[in-house]
């Protein structure tokens, strides 16, 4: 008989049991469910809501059930619907009527709201650790490539020379913000909903602050309706994970381009590449491509959560059972992607010679040529026009700016002198941009040291 079956005169249809059950995906919250129940049982005993002996027996039995689950000695039942009722059923089977007292002053509505918050708080910690490992790998790569000059792009057109270290640290800053978003999300998630009951709290004299402290929450929820019907925290986490995947996807897109024969800026390690079943020469960046593809999956989960919640009246509705598969899948996907991405970038070969050659093509020093004229006293807009005409001249004559003779330069402006060649060299273009946040070696080193302190 169902734990809630007293009002019913007919057994649930088997198809409805299968349809209604969530144990196949919420069983992963078994530890959080047991930890929450232990805290609840302790509080019930402390408040004399149930006998102290029953409270102690419940706590002891729940600890034994947790050990049995972790040792693979428990098989969950679909008929018991979810992780909460599976554990309560196991408890009652083991200790009888004392186990039936556990659910006093509690609903599955506030119980599941508690469990999923606890579970996601634990997963945020895991994801943060993985992000920090990736950030550490980026710093190591950047330190090894402070002098690796490469082209910077806008509109996928060569723009100005930078260094690979500077490029990598741009992604560091993005992922650093992602860490901050996870921290912010956790702050709002760390509010304990148990005690909200089904929707209207309870007449029992609960000590909600005690339970919150036992479970490590920062606060308790302040409205029982909101406590059971809020899933903002899951949507916020899904959004944060989507942004992480967007950053990884952008990076993967560049790595895929750089890995092509046309760029040849990098080569993926054999351990992070795959081959073709028909073309023996192929070495495909499948890891990067798959991470890029999985970003769409995580975005879809965010949209699913938003769509599930958008039309729900207060308070709990069964629709909200659909929150778990979406957020769990996003968590799993991120945890799958981060370590493999870290391994991929840590092992790839960097072709610094090709990068430097690439920086020397496409007139990436044109802005510096214009700045040279400005420093000689010419207004910037005039300088911009002069260099634009010079670039067009170079294109017509298949030359680079550094290939032009001083006489050719003077044909466009008498301001040019021999020092123009030093001013437009790639090393000068990079090293002179030494303001905070710039690509010069000193500026990037300062950024790296600052972020080493951030990582601790």
Among all chains, which residue has been given the structure tokens 């950053």? 247
How big is the chain by its Cα radius of gyration, in Å? 31
Contact 301, 329 (CB under 8 A): yes
Spot the catalytic one: 167, 229, 276, 384.
276
Spatial separation of the C-alpha atoms in residues 73 and 246, rounded to whole Å: 41
264-268: long-range pairs with CB below 8 Å, 24+: 264/351, 264/354, 265/150, 265/350, 265/351, 265/354, 265/355, 265/358, 266/348, 266/349, 266/350, 266/351, 267/348, 267/349, 267/351, 268/344, 268/347, 268/348
Residues 6+ apart with CB under 8 A from 161: 149, 150, 151, 152, 359, 364, 365, 426, 429, 430, 439
> If we measure between CA atoms, which residue out of 142, 72, 124 comes closest to residue 345?
142
Residues 6+ apart with CB under 8 A from 373: 382, 383, 386, 387, 413, 415, 416
Among all chains, which residue has been given the structure tokens 């968590």? 331
Spot the catalytic one: 155, 273, 352, 413.
155
Helix residue spans in 97-207 (DSSP H): 97-100, 108-143, 164-189
> Is 242 an active-site residue?
no
Q: Helices 286-309 and 232-258, interaxial angle, to 10°?
A: 160
Residues 6+ apart with CB under 8 A from 64: 94
> Is 191 an active-site residue?
no
Cite the active site residues: 155, 276
């Amino acid at each position: 008989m169902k734990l809630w079956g007293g009002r019913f005169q007919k057994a649930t249809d088997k198809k409805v049991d299968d349809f209604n059950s969530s144990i196949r995906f919420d069983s992963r919250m078994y530890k959080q469910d047991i930890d929450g129940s232990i805290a609840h049982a302790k509080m019930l005993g402390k408040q004399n809501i149930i006998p102290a002996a029953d409270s102690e027996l419940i706590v002891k039995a729940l600890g034994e059930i947790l050990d049995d689950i972790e040792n693979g000695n428990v098989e969950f039942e679909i008929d018991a619907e979810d992780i909460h009722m599976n554990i309560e059923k196991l408890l009652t089977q083991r200790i009888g009527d004392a186990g039936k007292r556990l659910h006093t002053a509690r609903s599955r509505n506030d119980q599941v709201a508690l469990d999923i918050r606890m579970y996601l708080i634990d997963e945020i910690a895991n994801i943060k650790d993985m992000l920090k490992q990736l950030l550490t790998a980026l710093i190591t790569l950047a330190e090894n490539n402070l002098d690796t000059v490469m082209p910077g792009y806008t509109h996928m057109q060569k723009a100005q020379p930078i260094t690979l270290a500077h490029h990598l640290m741009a992604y560091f800053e993005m992922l650093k913000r992602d860490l901050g978003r996870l921290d912010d999300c956790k702050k709002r998630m760390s509010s304990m909903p148990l005690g909200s009951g089904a929707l209207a709290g309870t007449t029992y004299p609960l000590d909600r602050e005690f339970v919150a402290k036992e479970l490590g929450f920062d606060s308790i929820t302040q409205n029982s309706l909101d406590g059971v019907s809020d899933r903002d925290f899951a949507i916020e986490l899904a959004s944060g994970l989507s942004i992480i995947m967007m950053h990884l996807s952008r990076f993967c897109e560049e790595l895929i381009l750089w890995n092509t024969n046309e760029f040849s800026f990098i080569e993926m390690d054999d351990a992070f590449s795959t081959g073709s079943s028909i073309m023996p020469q192929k070495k495909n960046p499948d890891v990067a491509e798959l991470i890029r593809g999985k970003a769409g999956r995580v975005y879809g989960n965010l949209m699913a959560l938003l769509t599930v919640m958008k039309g729900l009246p207060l308070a709990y509705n069964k629709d909200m059972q659909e929150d778990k598969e979406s957020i769990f899948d996003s968590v799993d996907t991120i945890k799958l992607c981060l370590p493999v991405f870290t391994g991929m970038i840590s092992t790839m070969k960097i072709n610094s010679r090709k990068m430097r050659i690439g920086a020397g093509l496409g007139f990436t020093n044109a802005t510096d040529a214009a700045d040279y004229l400005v420093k000689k006293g010419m207004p910037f807009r005039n300088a911009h026009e002069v260099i634009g005409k010079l670039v067009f001249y170079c294109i017509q004559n298949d030359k680079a700016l550094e290939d032009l003779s001083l006489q050719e330069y003077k044909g466009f402006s008498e301001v040019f002198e021999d020092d123009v060649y030093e001013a437009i060299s790639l090393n000068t273009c990079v090293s002179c941009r030494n303001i905070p946040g710039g690509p010069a070696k000193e500026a990037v080193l300062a950024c790296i040291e600052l972020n080493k302190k951030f990582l601790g």
